[in-house]
């Protein structure tokens, strides 16, 4: 695993807080791995429905799950959910300080308060005092869209990074008055440049752990791109201790995206399968998009951390994906299945996906060496023959690029 010291900036040193789930505590900040969060979309009063979603989120990679605590029924629901949850639960509280106190009574492992909504100092200090007595941390969740009106006006009727950081600092000062420091902070905005700058300023101003997110990112794929742009930019700068994708989608997609981002950056070890595929080109012998999608669906949920490649042609595919644990490349109506770049089997084109699944399971049970030992003896020679035949038919320039260059030259000469 990349420890962040090579390609990414060294992670900023932050204090550590603990979400003290009895069997699955999660530390945030300090040297704890960057954690993944998501939020349930069920009514929290619906205990079974919410727990089902929490389990699905945990299965998809969420380390921490947030549930709204917006009324007395939700608080009562939390009292039943918290003892049965596999991961720490954060109660999201917006307007009513009594809901924060009720969530603490329900045993939640963390609170999220929006300083733009609960404004009376005595309420904020009361909650912080209660949280302190119970050892429950609080996230100060500043949101560009619900910034305190006074701050909004102070900064010229605009949401600015400075205004968001000041909002967090005002809340922190109340917490300090009661000696409470188990804090993490977020300064989310739907504008990516705004949230990036706000987090940069915040990380200069405090060493409390930071929760990253682009709020109201919207539905995928644009929402995924926006959230990734903001979160990844900050993580690459060494900023951020826990992340949440705020997508208009099934929250399981948020947890998956969070996991995938951290794995892609080398900040978390890969838990599941990584499917790579070539972008296809004039050499492709098969519909790469379809085969890749079919393979993705067939291998969804495969919990072995192997990399699987789907490549459009046997001429370049096995070489381009030689580092993949397992792959398949198409050619002459057949699929060349390879393990670590070595062809182990040649299958009919319509069996490519089934072969990938079979050999992924073989690697899972017997390991790479075990799979290699099962290679068909004639497979490599068959593959070489297919590759040579294709090169004969298509030549080295299967995309006809040289012909295009000639055409361009001709048009330029004629003009
Ligand atoms: S050369 Fe082959 S493997 Fe590479 S992009 Fe084209 S089809 Fe895919």
Residue 271 is predicted with a pLDDT of 80
HSE-CB at 253 with a 13 A cutoff on CA atoms is 15
Question: Which of 206, 121, 207, 217 has its CA nearest to residue 166?
Answer: 206
- Residue 94 pLDDT > 90, yes or no? no
Question: Which of 27, 50, 29 has its CA nearest to residue 40?
Answer: 50
**336 C-alpha to center of ligand 1: Å?**
14
* Other CB atoms within 10 A of residue 57 CB: 27
Tens digits of per-residue pLDDT, 147-158?
A: 888 999 999 999
- Residue 1 pLDDT > 50, yes or no? no
**201 C-alpha to center of ligand 1: Å?**
44
Residue 390 is predicted with a pLDDT of 85
**399 C-alpha to center of ligand 1: Å?**
10
Contacts of 235 (CB under 8 A, 6+ apart): 8, 34, 212, 243, 261, 262, 265, 267
Residue 77 is predicted with a pLDDT of 96
**277 C-alpha to center of ligand 1: Å?**
9
- For a substitution probing ligand 1, which of 284, 318, 328 has the most ligand atoms within 8 Å of its CB? 284
Residue 398 is predicted with a pLDDT of 64
Tens digits of per-residue pLDDT, 143-195?
A: 998 888 899 999 999 999 999 999 999 999 999 999 999 999 999 999 999 99
Residue 127 is predicted with a pLDDT of 96
**322 C-alpha to center of ligand 1: Å?**
13
- Residue 2 pLDDT > 80, yes or no? no
Residue 316 is predicted with a pLDDT of 86
Q: State how far the Cα of 182 lies from the Cα of 193, in Å rounded to an integer.
A: 28
Residue 131 is predicted with a pLDDT of 97
| Contact present, 306 and 325 (Cβ < 8 Å) | yes
Tens digits of per-residue pLDDT, 255-297?
A: 999 999 999 999 999 888 889 999 888 888 889 999 999 999 9
Tens digits of per-residue pLDDT, 325-350?
A: 999 999 888 999 999 999 999 999 99
Residue 335 is predicted with a pLDDT of 94
Q: What is the pTM of this model?
A: 0.83
Closest residue by Cα to atom 3, ligand 1, is: 317
Query: Is residue 106 packed enough to be buried (19+ CB in 10 Å), middle (13-18) or exposed (0-12)?
Result: buried
Q: State how far the Cα of 111 lies from the Cα of 291, in Å rounded to an integer.
A: 45
Q: How confident is the model at residue 399 (pLDDT cuts 50, 70, 90)?
A: low
Per DSSP, the three-state class of 347 is: strand
- Residue 41 pLDDT > 60, yes or no? yes
- For a substitution probing ligand 1, which of 286, 291, 292, 317 has the most ligand atoms within 8 Å of its CB? 317
Structure token pair of residue 120: 């009376």
- Residue 57 pLDDT > 90, yes or no? yes
Residue 303 is predicted with a pLDDT of 80
CA 89, 267, 244 angle in degrees (round to 5)? 35
Q: DSSP class of residue 219?
A: S
User: What is the mean predicted confidence (pLDDT) over 387-405?
Assistant: 77
User: What is the mean predicted confidence (pLDDT) over 310-323?
Assistant: 89
- For a substitution probing ligand 1, which of 316, 322, 323, 324 has the most ligand atoms within 8 Å of its CB? 316
Task: Give the binding-site residues of ligand 1, using a 6 Å CB cut-off.
Answer: 278-281, 283-284, 311-313, 316-317, 320
- Residue 401 pLDDT > 80, yes or no? no
């Amino acid at each position: 695993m990349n420890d962040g010291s090579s390609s990414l900036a060294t992670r900023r040193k932050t204090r550590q807080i603990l979400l003290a789930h009895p069997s699955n505590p999660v530390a945030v900040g300090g040297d704890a791995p960057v954690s993944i969060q998501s939020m349930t979309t069920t009514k929290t009063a619906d205990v079974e429905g919410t727990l089902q979603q929490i389990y699905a989120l945990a299965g998809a990679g969420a380390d921490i799950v947030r549930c709204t605590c917006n009324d007395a029924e939700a608080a009562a629901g939390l009292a039943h959910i918290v003892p049965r949850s596999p991961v720490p639960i954060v109660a999201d509280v917006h307007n009513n300080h009594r809901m924060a106190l009720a969530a603490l009574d329900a045993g939640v492992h963390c609170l999220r308060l929006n300083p733009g909504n609960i404004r009376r100092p005595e309420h904020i200090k009361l909650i912080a005092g209660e949280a302190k007595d119970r050892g429950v941390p609080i996230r100060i969740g500043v949101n560009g869209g619900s910034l305190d009106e006074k701050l909004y006006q102070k900064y010229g009727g605009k949401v600015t990074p400075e205004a968001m950081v000041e909002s967090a600092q005002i809340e922190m000062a109340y917490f300090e008055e009661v000696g409470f420091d188990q804090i993490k902070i977020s300064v989310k905005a739907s504008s990516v440049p705004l949230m990036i700058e706000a987090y940069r300023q915040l990380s200069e101003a405090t060493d409390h752990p930071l929760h990253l997110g682009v709020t109201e990112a919207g539905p995928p794929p644009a929402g995924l791109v926006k959230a990734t742009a903001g979160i990844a930019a900050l993580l690459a700068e060494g900023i951020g201790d826990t992340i949440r994708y705020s997508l208009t989608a099934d929250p399981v997609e948020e947890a998956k995206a969070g996991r995938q981002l951290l794995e892609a950056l080398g900040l978390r070890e890969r838990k599941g399968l990584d499917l790579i595929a070539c972008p296809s080109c004039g050499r492709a012998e098969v519909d790469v998009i379809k085969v890749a999608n079919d393979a993705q669906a067939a291998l969804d949920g495969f919990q072995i951390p192997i990399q699987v490649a789907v490549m459009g042609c046997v001429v370049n595919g096995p070489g381009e994906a030689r580092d993949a644990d397992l792959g398949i490349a198409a050619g002459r109506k057949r699929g060349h299945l390879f393990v670590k770049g070595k062809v182990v089997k040649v299958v009919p084109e319509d069996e490519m996906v089934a072969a990938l699944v079979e050999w992924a399971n073989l690697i899972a049970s017997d390991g790479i060496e075990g799979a290699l030992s099962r290679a068909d003896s004639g497979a490599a020679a068959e593959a070489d023959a297919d590759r040579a035949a294709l090169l004969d038919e298509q030549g080295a320039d299967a995309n006809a690029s040289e012909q295009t260059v000639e055409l361009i030259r001709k048009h330029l000469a004629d003009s």
